[in-house]
Structure 1
Amino acid sequence: MKRHYLNSWTVHSLVVCVALVVSASAWGQAGTGTEYDDAELPVAEAAGDRLVPAELVIREDVVLRPFEARMFGFNWNWFFANPMVVEPETNVLRDDFVEAMRGLSVPLQRMTGTESQYFQWRKATGPYAERQPFSLRPFHGSPAVRVGFGPLEWVRLMRRINPEVELVWCLNLYQDAAEDHADFAELMMYDGVGNPNGGVDWAAVRRNAGIEGPAPIILWELGNELDEPWHQDVIPDVEAYIERCGAAIEAVRSITPGARFAAHAVTAPWSEKKNLKKFGPDGHWKEWHRRVLEELGDEIDYMVFHPYYAGYPIPTVYRFVSDITDDIRRITGSDRIKIYFSEHARWPPRPSDGRPWSAYFHKSHSLEAVLAVSEFINLGHSRNDVAMMTYHILHGGPWRTIDRRPDGEGFFFTGIADLFNLYQSTMSGAVVESSLAGPETDVTSDSLRLSALVTRDDDRSGLTLFVVNRSASSTRRLRLTTLDGPYRLTDRWTIHHEDLDAHNTADDRPLAPRHQAYEEPGVLRSLDVSPQTITVLRLTRDDADAASRTTQR
């Protein structure tokens, strides 16, 4: 490419149609997997050629938070994982899956969502021939099967992919009793002498499976979405949830005293169809987490929230989060308890023309979805209250971060994997303060169209910018102001396509990041940010010789 040293640089940057999905179908038709349906999606903007100015001010000396790999975790799913991860009718890990997964950064993994409340871990542990069949999805009528991919296979798999992996386990509070939790903690964590619970020596079962030390579980999640109506036969209200949480905490800590826990806030509180009677005497969604904090605030480290976006703008999502954070500080007197998004994703809409939902499954990982997830991550990183995220989901369902090729020969990654790898390969150091000025830059407003995230190297040698322009019709002429001197542009990565519906397949990868390095970089003072693009810019602190140059690309 011919180089011109002018006053601005034109790049593709990010457009995001970001929104949160509204509520489930009427309760007579409701069930797991429907609680985020019926979204009223915004009408897409027509493409245009408007040029709108804005200014990005970067304050390198004001550190908001360190870069956290825990913000890029993934959730798992037992039902879809079993035929994908192990050889048929065995508990032997598939080598091709292990090799494929090494192409994805996996710092944090969670097991799992709705299925966790029906998972019978004893029947998925020990020699395969001795395991007893059970249904992984009884709420959908799936038949009983002998499960080859169980908790210990999960630990072995994740350590093969990433020896430094961290795990989150979601306890089955719907079906399991306290003694079940204690036995499971012994299976996964006990490394002492003897058999603390009596009966089966579960630590020996783990060692016999080839796992000598404790599993790398950093957090125990107290159930999953137990405020939902289909759990009311066991968890009729928040008081019943608190009672079960307390028993589980005591049981797990009897084996691993330093265990940390995360309790749930209400699922989909924006829904007008929620059964508010179980949320407390005032019938308000906040009553649930307030009672949890009042009774368990000294025992937990995180409040769990599940935002799915594609109906309401993302600033709306974070207003709910702010409500929870405000109550954490008011009730506990500190901000020690953080927010954990143990599930988040774009929930694909259902076709309105009678076609099955599967016709729109690709919309969970299309360009539109990748842009939405990127915007959500950016705004989360700009806050101190959000500590961890696990994207829903690594495989299966509509989301499919990794999927099997249609011919059954191998696997491929969707654009979500490309996005997560791009973040983790370019972010480092700490998130620093930055602010945008200009139309549609207020991150608290639902009219937000342009946003940015900036990280600084620990040695202050460079910055990385993640710029988000979610307008389909406006190019933003962005003036860059750094308060600690000028920077040179050295690298650029972009994810872009003209079609928001574009998505990776087994044979095509339109959402793969495109990289360009600049061997003779000039000082970057401004840039034009195009619609419908994710742009990552790598800036290196300028020296005296380069201070007089600016760059146009």
Structure 2
Amino acid sequence: MMKNLFAIFSLVLLSACSQSEGNTFDITEGETRLVATPSFVDSKTDLKNLFGIHSLWWESQVSLADSSGNLTDDALSKLKYSSVQLIRYGGGVNEINWLDCTNNTKLRPLLSVTTWMQPAPCLFGPAEYANALGKLGAKTTWHIANVVGFNAEESPLEQLSVSAKNYASFVKDNSPNRVRYWEIGNELERGRLKWDAFKIALRSEPIVANILQADPAAKIVIPLVEYQPDWMSSDIEHNKYLVNRFKSYSADYALHMYYDNPPEGPSIVNRLNKLAQNIAMMKQAGIANPGVWITEHARWPAGNPSDTEWSRNWYQTSDISGVLSTADFLIGLSQINGVRGAMWHGLRAGPWNFIENNNQELQTSNIAELFRLLNPSDSMRSLVTLSTSSFDGDHLGQYAIRGAIFNVANNPRAYRVWLVNRSAKSKSVLLNMRMVMADGNVSLVQKQLRTVDASQNARVNLSINSSLAAIKNGNLTVTISPLSVSTFDITLK
């Protein structure tokens, strides 16, 4: 009888076709629980792609590369340690000619890409990036096409089209066996540009056509806006125009999302709702299986870049609150149908540093340690998880916990749970496994990240605890420490 019951559970997991379309997260007084359902969130999403990073070439080459522009063995080892496989190559894309980042590094010209750095040659160029991907064993490249021009001026489209075509050929030759993504422009609707959707489409379409002519297998990604600028009447209408204009080319779109600190970081609930709203719009526009990539995300440090003392808050991106914010966001992404991947900003990028450089000594950041903790196996699949949290978190959303449950290898005896506790109190969380797992004794392995003090530069510590437990009437209760992130591996004995 028990053998037949396991077979039924396995069949349900293998054949589940309903997907997470709406909100599966609820906040109420006094309850903390997760309910696992036998439905997968999205069969098209590789969970490993949630653990990508964005790389600015100039910050990366200053702190992480050798004199030839290649990432050092130490930097690569830190990336391998954190299981990073997806790196978005960008920065200065609306300003520079990619050819200036190629050929002999000693002959590359000085480039001005920011107001806070002296002009410098682009040493960590596309070839050096491809070399790093090879050493990491990465299967994907991610480039950003220049649709603006050079030296802060708009260039003729004919010139940019030829440049994009040649760039796509270069990438194809350097990464022939990788999936090659092309994001068409970067933050065109904000900053000094403030382009409307019509102009973005007008400038982007010839670029897309030339990339595909050079590389028909290239995957085109269209950037959208995740907030409503003062000059824009509706961000959703702006995005809808671009979705309709480019849906013959692509079903993949990009958003940038910063969170959990004013004024530029709304609550994570706000960000996830905005994401779901855009995915719903895409489906209404006739895209059956839209894919959204969060090509930049991170906790925002309180304040604005224009604030003279903003740098005093940079620690907030990867202190324990930054870790909890990032974990909260990634767990939320794992529950949304249509999310294809996410890139934390950034490898080295001002306030956001995945690898820290302390007097030329490299060290993994707390965010890198979070990536290592959550690193999913190839066989993990996200289950639609109904989460209920109490109200006592010290952050914009005010809830205490968020979690998600995953099946491992279509095995009805093996599951993994991601849990974040944003409360200053320890939480007992009821896991309702009734729909996916039989009652019985289980082995329970908890891995937990937390800090031992509240100082700005406190490092997270990993603890591992193995125990035996029992699922009774479909329920299992686990405990998660205050202000911490945990994974639980549950295996029926």
- Please report the TM-score for the alignment, with normalisation by the length of structure 2: 0.82
Q: What's the CA shift for 1:288?
A: 1.2
Matched, 1:379 2:332: yes
Q: Sequence identity, in percent?
A: 18
Matched, 1:101 2:75: no
Name the residue aligned to 1:548: none
Map of 1:133-212 to 2, 5 A cutoff? Answer: 133-137=110-114, 140=115, 142-160=117-135, 162-175=136-149, 177-190=160-173, 211=174
Query: What amino acid sits opposite 1:253 in the alignment?
Result: L
Q: Give the secondary-structure state (helix, strand or coil) at the position aligned to 1:522.
A: strand
2:460 paired residue among 503, 511, 518: 511
- 8 Å CA contact retained: 1:489, 1:537: no
* Structure 1 runs (4+) greater than 6 angstroms displaced: none
Query: Per-residue CA shift, 1:347-368, capped at 9, x if unaligned?
Result: 111399x872222211110000
Q: Give the secondary-structure state (helix, strand or coil) at the position aligned to 2:143.
A: strand
**How many angstroms apart in 1 are the aligned matches of 2:453 and 2:445?**
25
Name the residue aligned to 2:418: 466
Q: What's the CA shift for 1:287?
A: 2.0
Q: What's the CA shift for 1:467?
A: 1.8
**How many angstroms apart in 1 are the aligned matches of 2:317 and 2:288?**
33
Whose Rg is larger?
A: 1
- 8 Å CA contact retained: 2:35, 2:387: yes
**How many angstroms apart in 1 are the aligned matches of 2:418 and 2:332?**
11
Higher relative contact order (CA 8 A, sep 6+): 1
Name the residue aligned to 2:451: 497
Matched, 1:240 2:199: yes
2:48 paired residue among 69, 75, 95: 69
Query: Per-residue CA shift, 1:50-80, capped at 9, x if unaligned?
Result: x944333223x32223552111111001121
Query: Per-residue CA shift, 1:448-481, capped at 9, x if unaligned?
Result: 4322111111241311111233222463453544
Name the residue aligned to 2:93: 116
Name the residue aligned to 1:536: 487
Structure 1 pair 351–432 and aligned structure 2 pair: CA distance change class (3 A): closer
Q: What's the CA shift for 1:141?
A: 5.6
Query: Per-residue CA shift, 1:394-421, capped at 9, x if unaligned?
Result: 1231111101222x2x310111001111
Q: What's the CA shift for 1:246?
A: 0.7
Question: Tell me, which stretches of 5 or more residues in structure 1 are unaligned?
Answer: 1-50, 191-210, 505-509, 543-553
**How many angstroms apart in 1 are the aligned matches of 2:183 and 2:109?**
26
Structure 1 pair 343–423 and aligned structure 2 pair: CA distance change class (3 A): same
120-129 or 418-427: bigger deviation: 418-427
Q: What's the CA shift for 1:539?
A: 0.5
- 8 Å CA contact retained: 2:427, 2:481: yes
Query: What amino acid sits opposite 1:218 in the alignment?
Result: R
Q: Give the secondary-structure state (helix, strand or coil) at the position aligned to 2:423.
A: coil
Query: What amino acid sits opposite 1:186 in the alignment?
Result: S
Structure 1 pair 334–103 and aligned structure 2 pair: CA distance change class (3 A): same
Name the residue aligned to 2:370: 419
Structure 1 pair 303–184 and aligned structure 2 pair: CA distance change class (3 A): same
Structure 1 pair 500–293 and aligned structure 2 pair: CA distance change class (3 A): farther
Query: What amino acid sits opposite 1:142 in the alignment?
Result: M
- 8 Å CA contact retained: 1:426, 1:464: no
Name the residue aligned to 2:470: 523
Going by fraction, where is strand more abundant, 1 or 2? 2
1:226 paired residue among 188, 195, 200: 188
Structure 1 pair 426–497 and aligned structure 2 pair: CA distance change class (3 A): farther
**How many angstroms apart in 1 are the aligned matches of 2:338 and 2:130?**
29
**How many angstroms apart in 1 are the aligned matches of 2:372 and 2:248?**
36
Name the residue aligned to 1:40: none
Q: What's the CA shift for 1:337?
A: 2.1
Q: What's the CA shift for 1:108?
A: 0.8
Q: What's the CA shift for 1:531?
A: 2.4
Structure 1 pair 214–532 and aligned structure 2 pair: CA distance change class (3 A): same
**How many angstroms apart in 2 are the aligned matches of 1:304 and 1:469?**
29
Matched, 1:54 2:32: yes
- 8 Å CA contact retained: 2:324, 2:421: no
Structure 1 pair 284–459 and aligned structure 2 pair: CA distance change class (3 A): closer
Q: What's the CA shift for 1:256?
A: 0.6
CA RMSD of aligned residues (A): 2.6
Question: Tell me, which stretches of 5 or more residues in structure 2 are unaligned?
Answer: 1-28, 150-154
Q: Give the secondary-structure state (helix, strand or coil) at the position aligned to 1:242.
A: helix
Structure 1 pair 472–141 and aligned structure 2 pair: CA distance change class (3 A): closer
Q: Give the secondary-structure state (helix, strand or coil) at the position aligned to 2:171.
A: helix
Q: What's the CA shift for 1:93?
A: 4.6
**How many angstroms apart in 2 are the aligned matches of 1:438 and 1:257?**
47
Query: What amino acid sits opposite 2:315 in the alignment?
Result: H
Map of 1:340-351 to 2, 5 A cutoff? Answer: 340-350=293-303
Q: Give the secondary-structure state (helix, strand or coil) at the position aligned to 1:344.
A: strand
**How many angstroms apart in 1 are the aligned matches of 2:463 and 2:96?**
41
2:284 paired residue among 299, 309, 330: 330
**How many angstroms apart in 2 are the aligned matches of 1:447 and 1:86?**
41
- 8 Å CA contact retained: 2:301, 2:313: yes
- 8 Å CA contact retained: 1:155, 1:215: no
1:266 paired residue among 222, 225, 241: 225
Query: What amino acid sits opposite 1:185 in the alignment?
Result: A
Structure 1 pair 432–351 and aligned structure 2 pair: CA distance change class (3 A): closer
Query: What amino acid sits opposite 1:422 in the alignment?
Result: L
530-539 or 98-107: bigger deviation: 98-107
Name the residue aligned to 1:208: none
Structure 1 pair 422–349 and aligned structure 2 pair: CA distance change class (3 A): same
- 8 Å CA contact retained: 2:58, 2:122: no
- 8 Å CA contact retained: 1:104, 1:421: yes
Question: What is the total number of aligned residue pairs between the two structures?
Answer: 439
Q: What's the CA shift for 1:267?
A: 4.6
**How many angstroms apart in 2 are the aligned matches of 1:254 and 1:366?**
45
Structure 1 pair 259–372 and aligned structure 2 pair: CA distance change class (3 A): same
Name the residue aligned to 1:289: 239
- 8 Å CA contact retained: 1:75, 1:111: yes
**How many angstroms apart in 1 are the aligned matches of 2:365 and 2:180?**
28
- Please report the TM-score for the alignment, with normalisation by the length of structure 1: 0.74
Q: Give the secondary-structure state (helix, strand or coil) at the position aligned to 1:323.
A: helix
Q: What's the CA shift for 1:126?
A: 0.7
Q: Give the secondary-structure state (helix, strand or coil) at the position aligned to 2:274.
A: helix
Q: What's the CA shift for 1:338?
A: 1.5
